[in-house]
């Protein structure tokens, strides 16, 4: 196929995807702006319209990243349907260009957009989303000082039928399940159901192990007695180490380049970073997912417009894309529950979409 024709198809498809991306971005800005005013504004008296717009702008790149597969699907269908209505696809076929050949540039463009999403858009979106979470927390707490919000202590609570332990720490390293400058306040449940303070244990570090906290450089203070120092102390707990990682580090705030390091550190600490492996594999599989979406959108846009039922075929193409997305979400849920391997959960749906598109195109083209 001539290079000029390939560039023409890429340009027409890119225009369709760009128009759809602009429409989706505008919708995201409008809807999320209203949501920020409704949710954050209801909890903060200092949030103005400009502040809500700023929060929306910080969140938009990541929301756009999540919707890009559908942007590629619909944009591809728009471009090819337009070419079909102009009889340009008929002219290509008459010139001896098969559907396999003139769809190759379209799928190649989708792969390039997938690479751009994983390597460029995701790091930007993750950085801005992390800033968004800090800014939103500042508005909710009505704290004018960013530093005060960032340096706020970590608070945890654990307990059973005998009492409770309240834990404060200066900072947390979730990838190693470790608290820095931790203080444990022990409370005993009396017979009348009231909590009574028993002891205060300070530690330089507190490492969360299966079934217990491992404290180091400990200072144990009990009311009416002098402080006792020790190198190590174990405190029983029911908190899972992985829960600490999931609570304080969102996969959405970690970029494509940071995820492998966090996963390695978590595995070295004995944790099971399933959500982060799922996120990492999903970014690796983004080019394949985008290719599957473009291919599915393309094969349902090849029917000649003069044969009618174009709207029905377009709806079938949209439905196939949403089905592929639903299968991906279902597989991710199985992986999060550790029912299915992460690699299979991530790669199986887009591969199924690619193979389905190839089968349909083979049937339409070769009978």
What pLDDT digit, counting tens, does each position of 20-59 carry? 999 999 999 999 888 888 887 777 667 788 888 888 999 9
Q: How many domains does the chain have?
A: 2
- Pair 312, 190 in one domain: no
- Pair 53, 138 in one domain: yes
Q: Is residue 266 part of a domain?
A: no
- Which two tokens mark 146? 């960013």
- Residue 83 buriedness (CB in 10 A; 0-12 / 13-18 / 19+): buried
Q: Is residue 217 part of a domain?
A: yes
- Pair 280, 134 in one domain: yes
* Residue 61 · residue 67 · CB < 8 Å: no
What pLDDT digit, counting tens, does each position of 96-122 carry? 777 777 788 899 999 999 999 999 999
Q: Is residue 256 part of a domain?
A: no
Domain end marker among 222, 241, 260: 241
- Closest alpha carbon to 266 in 283, 242, 282, 284: 242
- Boundaries of domain holding 342: 3-143+273-366
Q: Is residue 99 part of a domain?
A: yes
Q: Is residue 30 part of a domain?
A: yes
- Pair 34, 111 in one domain: yes
- Pair 100, 127 in one domain: yes
- Which residue's entry shows tokens 């728009």? 78
- Pair 42, 119 in one domain: yes
Domain end marker among 241, 257, 291: 241
* Residue 44 · residue 143 · CB < 8 Å: no
- Pair 128, 157 in one domain: no
pLDDT at 303: 66
What pLDDT digit, counting tens, does each position of 57-87 carry? 999 998 999 999 999 999 999 888 888 887 7
- Pair 135, 191 in one domain: no
- Pair 23, 138 in one domain: yes
- Pair 10, 111 in one domain: yes
What pLDDT digit, counting tens, does each position of 173-196 carry? 766 678 888 899 998 887 777 788
Three-state SS for 257? coil
């Amino acid at each position: 196929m001539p290079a000029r024709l390939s560039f023409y198809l890429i340009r027409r498809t890119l225009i369709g995807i760009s128009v759809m991306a602009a429409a989706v971005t505008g919708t995201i800005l409008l809807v999320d702006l209203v949501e920020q005013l409704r949710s954050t504004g209801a909890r903060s008296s200092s949030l103005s319209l400009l502040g809500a717009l700023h929060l929306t702008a910080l969140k938009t790149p990541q929301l756009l990243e999540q919707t890009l597969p559908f942007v590629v699907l619909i944009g591809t269908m728009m471009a090819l349907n337009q070419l079909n209505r102009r009889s340009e696809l008929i002219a290509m076929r008459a010139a001896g260009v098969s559907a396999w050949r003139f769809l190759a540039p379209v799928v190649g463009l989708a792969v390039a957009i997938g690479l751009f999403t994983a390597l460029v858009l995701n790091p930007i979106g993750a950085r801005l989303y992390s800033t968004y979470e800090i800014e939103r927390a500042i508005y909710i707490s009505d704290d004018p000082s960013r530093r005060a919000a960032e340096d706020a202590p970590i608070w945890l609570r654990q307990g059973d039928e005998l009492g409770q332990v309240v834990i404060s720490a200066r900072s947390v390293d979730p990838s190693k399940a470790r608290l820095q400058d931790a203080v444990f306040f022990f409370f005993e449940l009396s017979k009348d159901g009231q909590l009574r303070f028993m002891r205060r244990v300070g530690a330089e570090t507190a490492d969360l192990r299966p079934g217990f906290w491992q404290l180091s450089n400990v200072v144990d203070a009990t009311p009416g007695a002098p402080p006792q120092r020790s190198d190590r102390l174990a405190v029983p707990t029911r908190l899972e180490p992985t829960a600490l990682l999931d609570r304080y580090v969102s996969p959405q705030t970690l970029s494509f380049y940071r995820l492998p390091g966090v996963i390695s550190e978590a595995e070295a600490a004995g944790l099971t970073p399933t959500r982060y492996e799922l996120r990492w594999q999903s970014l690796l599989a983004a080019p394949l997912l985008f290719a599957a979406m473009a291919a599915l959108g393309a094969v349902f846009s090849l029917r000649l417009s003069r044969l009618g039922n174009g709207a029905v075929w377009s709806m079938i193409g949209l439905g196939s894309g949403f089905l592929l997305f639903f299968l991906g979400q279902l597989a991710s849920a199985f992986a999060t529950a550790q029912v299915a391997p992460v690699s299979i959960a991530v790669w199986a749906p887009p591969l199924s979409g690619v193979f389905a598109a190839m089968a349909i195109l083979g049937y339409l083209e070769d009978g």
